[in-house]
Amino acid sequence: MSIPFDKLDKAFENRVRLQIMSILVVNERYDFNSLKDLLGVTDGNLASHLKGLEKEEYILVNKSFLGRKPNTNYEATEKGKQAFKAHLDALEALIKQQKIS
Amino acid sequence: MNNKVLLQLENNQVHQDLASIRNLMERSSKFLSLSGLSGVLAGVYALIGAYVAYGVIYPFRQASYVQRGEIDDLLIIEKLLLVAVLVLVASVTTGFVLSLRKARRTGQKFWGASSKALLFNMIVPLFAGGLLILIFIWREYFGIVAPAALIFYGLALVGAGNYTYKGVQYLGINEILLGLVAAAYPGYGLWLWAIGFGVLHIIYGSVMYFKFDR
């Protein structure tokens, strides 16, 4: 029996990264604080996962200022969206296989 | 650990992942704290407002109405505007307070990316429509008020529906249809206004209340 685990994206192994990506595929942009509120994670934790996704070139970072406060926005790249879709397809395949066996 | 157990574990993980993805896609892009009860109350305010407006336009003592001149007509418009503003303020305040309460109860954030998007998408057509109506009142095209109010409000709801419950879009489409009917039958403006802002709000508000609020 072949298990398509290898098709799962290693970048999405962590739940928080997968969650960040699922927010960014349905929203054009999302800012750091809103992500933090929605996911209920700490600043440091979120920042490190965002860094990881940025390194994979799955997301883009836009830094700007709202008045004097720094405002950081994130958006998904085309590569990131495709990787997310491929990951979901792999998850789906896994479930189907489970049902058959 | 044999393969079967491993697969079972992974499968559990997969289901949890999928559930959290679905949940976040919905929650991150939609404001789901909109209160259905506030829709019902807004409808009730609108009906009270329409009743008062009816009394202002068609006073019970017809004799005095005959003697009214131009200045009194302006007085009527002022009174109607006051009623409209009161209904608007009461509805917005109720909607704000009840949605805030619902957000607290469900542990969701009230002021976030989704509520900002919702507000922005409503404000643009509402301001455009509101200013247009004021300009037409100023130019004394009173017949345009009811249809324009219904149509612009409907457009605002259709736009807002992308950022909250889908049902809001159907409400918007119905408001637009009523607005077009009001444009075709100018004499029934107040009645159609009462149906659009009163009855429809009560119907949709109750549906939302029973579906999502409890």
Predicted TM-score (pTM) of this structure: 0.78
Q: Is B2 on the interface with A (CB under 8 A)?
A: no
Place of tokens 């809103």: A34
**In chain A, how many domains are there?**
1
Report the residue from A18, A37, A91 with minimal CB separation from B112.
Answer: A37
Calculate how close chain B gets to A9, using CA atoms only, in Å: 13
- Residue B112 has a CB neighbour count (10 Å cut-off) of 21
Residue of B nearest to A30 (CA): B113
**Each residue of B37-57: pLDDT tens digit?**
999 999 999 999 999 998 888
Q: What pLDDT sits at residue B63?
A: 46
Residues in A touching B9 (Cβ below 8 Å): none
- Establish how many alpha carbons lie within 13 A of residue B192's alpha carbon, considering only the half-sphere containing its beta carbon: 25
Interface test with B, best of A92, A98, A100 (most B CBs within 10 A): A98
Residue A2's pLDDT is 53
Residue B10 lies in a domain: no
Min Cα–Cα distance to chain A from B157, Å:
20
Residue numbers in A near B15 (CB within 8 A): 95
- List all residues of chain B from 104 to 143 with a beta carbon under 8 Å from chain A: 109, 112-113
Of the candidates B184, B176, B190, B211, the one whose C-alpha atom is nearest the C-alpha of residue B58 is B190
Q: What residue numbers bound the domain in which B157 lies?
A: 34-213
Does residue B171 or residue B114 have the better pLDDT?
Answer: B171
In a domain, B26, yes or no: no
- Domain contains B141: yes
Q: Which of A56-70, B8-22, B26-40 has the lowest mean pLDDT?
A: B8-22
Report the domain count for chain B: 1
